[in-house]
Amino acid sequence: MKYLSNVASLEFFPDRCVGCGICLEVCPHEVFALENKKAVILDRDRCMECGACAGNCAFGALNVDKGVGCAAAIINSLISGGEPSCDCSGESKKSDCC
Amino acid sequence: MAELKFMKPALKEKTTACCGPAQGALQEPGEMSGNTSLPPGKQGRPAWVTGTLTTEAGPISIVSTDLTMSDFWEHVKCRTSAFRNNYAVNPGLYAVGEPDKNSAVLISANYKLSFDALREALKGLHVWVLVLDTKGINVWCAAGKGTFGTDELIRSIFSTRLDSVVNHRKIIVPQLGAPGISAHQVRKSSGFTVCYGPVKAKDISRYISAGYKATKEMRTITFPLIDRLILTPMEINPAMKQYYPAYSLAMLAIFGLQPAGIYFREALVDGLPFLLLGLISVLAGGLITPALLPYIPFRSFAIKGWLTGTLLVIFSLKFTALFSQMNTVLLIFTYLFFPLASSYIALQFTGATTFTGMSGVRKELKIAIPLYIAGIVVSLVLLLVFKLGAWGLL
Ligand code: SF4
Ligand code: SF4
């Protein structure tokens, strides 16, 4: 299953990549592959912007606008003006998103 | 039930609850409270703790790898309740089997479901489980929020004195926790190397025996029918609680309202089909769309929900006698309002999926919200027109 195309905010800076392969390991959607000792993006549309790759790339070769793909969270953030967060703890909002 | 009673107070006062008098004697002077997992005290011990192991870092609770009926009931409640933070496990270090200084260390969240899935998957293994304080939230969500994160992991490594419990310097972090963790920072601050385990707890044992190696399948997240169905109550419940009662009252009032007052017979006879249509759109958006997600055309959840809603409305109007002689204005209202309601509810399911990103949902909302608002306004106007017509005012 894929979501909307051409929306993911994933950025890759090949010149900083050392080919360590951590991004391949953490990405749950097989967005990356290694080719000639460098990461390549196989399919950007599979990216769900979880931020795992960017947070674990020690070389700053990846960047992504990390966030929750959750309508309730985004609607709440539009109303309250904050960052969308997956507030499942039940204490503040009724939103029940994960 | 005994477990629930234990867990609630334990969450609030976990530091004091951890140092009951029974344990005090075993603790080393100056040891931080909250250091070891659970008190071996009689009243406080959850049923899944089967014993205590003495280590250099103090006593550590041994947990069972069998789930009991009461665990199962908690899972059901967990899945259907909005206040899931009651289902938490005390953070800290636990033992599974008879681990020693060379045994693997697994990291988990303190959400009861995550923890139970993990311990069940650890049958026959001898490992340590370090439970982070994620406020009773699962690994994936907590990693997104940052409570399952680099800082909490480093803090827990130090507070449990993991370095004196094991000789090696490797920890297995669930791959779904990766969004919250920076492996290189964990290593820099704690000396422990993060190895990302498989997505699913059930693959852990294969991962460990393969020498901390995961296959591509173990690394990829899927969203099969069963998972989608398990998550539907979380979309249907809020819809039924938040919107449906108000909607029902409004519909009954609209149909019951006559120039001479409110009539219950009219309210029920004319309003009932619309209450049913309301239910149908909740089912269309909250159950059928998630269940058939991969088979419904278009990638947008709003469109998927709208399509399902429209189809169900057509079916209901065609095959039930309830709506045999419907007024044209009401018919337009029906085709406008209920598919939109289904669309809105389907869009909420983006929060439960494993593949929707924030930019995509933002894009959908940007287009859909104005349409929803316009739809509601037109729907209200249509109802008004119907009412005025029925009263002979048009
Ligand atoms: S984690 Fe960074 S450096 Fe390593 S392969 Fe991926 S992009 Fe390259
Ligand atoms: S943000 Fe998440 S889904 Fe997207 S490429 Fe990185 S790891 Fe994969």
Helix (H, G, I), strand (E, B), or coil: what is residue A43?
coil
pLDDT, average across residues B234-244: 86
Query: If pLDDT is split at 50, 70 and 90, which confidence band does A78 have?
Result: confident
For B89-127, the pLDDT digits (tens) are 999 999 999 999 999 999 999 988 889 989 999 999 999
**pLDDT averaged over chain B?**
83
| 3-state DSSP of B61-85 | EEECCCCCHHHHHHHHHHHHCCCHH
Chain A residues touching residue B82 (CB < 8 angstroms)? 90, 94, 96
Model-level pTM?
A: 0.79
Would the pLDDT of B321 be above 80?
A: no
The closest of B181, B294, B187 to B197, measured between CA atoms, is: B181
Q: Is B353 on the interface with A (CB under 8 A)?
A: yes
Q: What is the pLDDT of residue B80?
A: 62
The residue whose CB lies within 8 Å of the most ligand 2 atoms, and thus the one to mutate among A9, A64, A65, A66, is A64
Domain range annotation of chain B: 14-222, 226-390
B231, B236, B358, best to mutate vs chain A, most A CBs in 10 Å: B358
**Cβ–Cβ below 8 Å for A88 and B184:** no
Would the pLDDT of B1 be above 50?
A: no
Which atom in ligand 1 lies closest to the alpha carbon of residue A34?
5
pLDDT, average across residues B162-175: 96
**Cβ–Cβ below 8 Å for A97 and B351:** yes
pLDDT, average across residues B160-186: 96
Of the listed ranges B56-60, B169-173, B260-264, the least confidently predicted one is B260-264
Query: If pLDDT is split at 50, 70 and 90, which confidence band does A87 have?
Result: low
Ligand 1, atom 4, lies closest to the CA of A20
For B355-378, the pLDDT digits (tens) are 999 999 999 999 999 999 999 999
Domains contained in chain A, CATH given: 11-83 (3.30.70.20)
Tally A–B CB contacts below 8 A.
170
- Among B residues 203-232, those touching chain A with beta carbons less than 8 Å apart: 214, 216, 219-221, 223
For B322-348, the pLDDT digits (tens) are 666 778 899 999 999 999 999 999 999
- B11 or B312, higher pLDDT: B312
Q: Is B199 on the interface with A (CB under 8 A)?
A: yes
Domain with residues B14-222, CATH architecture: 3-Layer(aba) Sandwich (3.40)
